[in-house]
A and B are shown apart, each in its own frame.
Chain A
Amino acid sequence: MWQFTTLERKRHESQTHPLAVLFILSTLFGGAAMAQDMSEVTILYWQASSILNPYLSSGTKDIDASSIVLEPLANISPAGTMVPVLAAEIPTLDNGGVSEDLTSITWTLKDGVLWSDGSPVTAEDVIFTWEYCTHPDAGCTYDDSFDGVVSVEDAGMNQVKITFDAPKPYPYLPFVTQTTPIIQKAQFGDCLGANMSACSDANFGPIGTGPFMVEDFRPNDVVTYVRNPNFRDADMGKPAFDRVVFKGGGDAESAARAVLETGEADYAWNLQVSPAVLNAMEAAGNGTVIVAYGQAMERILINFTDPSPDNPNRSVWMPDGANAHPFLSNKTIRQAMSMAIDRNISASVFFGGDPASPDTFQKFYSDVQMYTSGSSSTDMEGQMQNYRCGEWPSPDNNWLGSNILRWCNEEYDAVFEEYVSTGGVEARAEYVIRLNDIMIQDYAQLPLVYRSSAASAVSNSLGGVEINGWDSEMWNIEDWYRADM
Chain B
Amino acid sequence: MGKYIVRRLLTAIPTILVISFIIFAILELSPSDPTGNLPLTIPPEVRAKIREALGADDPFVVKYVKWLNQFFIAEPLNFAETVFGITLPGSEERTRVISWATRGPVIDIIAERLPQTLWVVGSSYILGVMIAVPVGVFSAYRQYSIFDQVGTFLMMVGFSVPTFFTGLMFIIIFSVNLKWFPSVYDTTLVVTDIETLKRQLLQMIMPVTVLTLYTTAQMSRYTRASTLENLQQDYIRTARSKGLTERTVVTRHAVRNSLIPVVTLIALGIPGIFAGALITEQIFRVNGIGQYLIIAIQGGDLPTVQTVTFIFAVLVVLFNIVADVLYGILDPRVSYT
Q: Report which A residues bind B (CB closer than 8 A).
A: 1-4, 6-7, 10, 21-22, 25-27, 29-31, 33-34, 44, 47-48, 50-51, 53, 56-60, 137-144, 194, 196-197, 200, 203-204, 216, 218-222, 224, 245, 247-251, 254, 257-258, 261-262, 264-265, 284, 375-377
Contacts and interface: CB of A to CB of B under 8 A. Distances in A.
A31 B287 contact: no
Interface of B: 34-35, 37-39, 41-43, 45-46, 49-54, 98-105, 109, 112-113, 115, 118-119, 171, 175-176, 178-184, 186-188, 190-191, 194, 197-203, 205, 282-285, 287, 291-292, 295-296, 299
B101 A51 contact: yes
Contacts of B180: 26-27, 30-31
Given A3-B119, A376-B39, A197 B299 contact: no
Given A4-B119, A33-B202, A258 B184 contact: yes
Given A7-B197, A247-B285, A262-B183, A139 B202 contact: no
A60 B249 CA distance: 65
A1 B98 contact: no
A22 B209 CA distance: 12
Contacts of A57: 38
Nearest to A10: B197
B46 A56 contact: no
Contacts of A30: 178-181, 202
Contacts of A22: 201, 205
A254 B299 contact: no
B187 A143 contact: no
Contact of B176 (A50, A257, A376): A257
Nearest to B119: A3
Nearest to A46: B285
Contacts of A262: 175-176, 179, 182-183
Contact of A204 (B35, B104, B184): B104
Contacts of B283: 250-251, 254
Interface centre among B100, B183, B205, B284 (most CB of A within 10 A): B183
Contact of B184 (A194, A265, A376): A265
A29 B182 CA distance: 12
Given A3-B115, A250-B285, A254-B171, A141 B38 contact: yes
A221 B187 contact: yes
B200 A58 contact: no
Contacts, number: 188
Given A33-B181, A220-B295, A265-B184, A56 B200 contact: no
B46 A143 contact: yes
B102 to A, nearest CB: 4
A222 B287 contact: yes
9 contacts: A26-B205, A30-B180, A59-B37, A200-B104, A200-B105, A219-B109, A249-B285, A251-B282, A257-B176
A200 B200 CA distance: 30
A264 B184 contact: yes
A298 B103 CA distance: 37
Given A220-B101, A262-B175, A249 B295 contact: yes
Given A33-B199, A144-B43, A221-B113, A248 B287 contact: yes
A194 B49 CA distance: 12
A203 B287 contact: no
Contacts of B188: 216, 218, 222, 224, 245
Contacts of B39: 59-60, 376
Contacts of B99: 50, 219
Given A1-B118, A30-B181, A375-B41, A200 B287 contact: no
A58 B202 contact: no
A2 B194 CA distance: 15
A25 B182 contact: no
Contacts of A249: 282, 285, 287, 291, 295
Nearest to B34: A58
Nearest to A253: B168
A6 B197 contact: yes
A351 B301 CA distance: 27
B164 to A, nearest CB: 10
Contact of A258 (B49, B183, B194): B183
B103 A197 contact: yes
A420 to B, nearest CB: 19
A264 B295 CA distance: 23
A218 B102 CA distance: 10
Contacts of B187: 218, 221-222
A220 B287 contact: yes
Contacts of B200: 3, 7
Given A31-B180, A257-B183, A58 B171 contact: no
Q: Which 10 A-B pairs have the closest CB atoms?
A: A139-B53, A30-B180, A50-B101, A59-B37, A219-B102, A200-B104, A221-B287, A139-B50, A197-B103, A250-B285
Nearest to A200: B104
B55 to A, nearest CB: 10
B287 A141 contact: no
B46 A261 contact: no
A33 B205 CA distance: 13
Nearest to A143: B46
A31 B179 contact: yes
Contact of A197 (B34, B98, B178, B190): B98
Contacts of B42: 141-142, 144
Contacts of B52: 139
Contacts of A25: 198, 201-202
A90 to B, nearest CB: 22
A144 B295 contact: no
A294 B184 CA distance: 31
A28 to B, nearest CB: 9
B101 A254 contact: no
B297 to A, nearest CB: 12
Contacts of B182: 33-34, 262, 264
Nearest to A19: B127
A277 to B, nearest CB: 13
A65 B188 CA distance: 17
A221 B284 CA distance: 12
Contacts of B54: 139
Contact of A218 (B34, B112, B205): B112
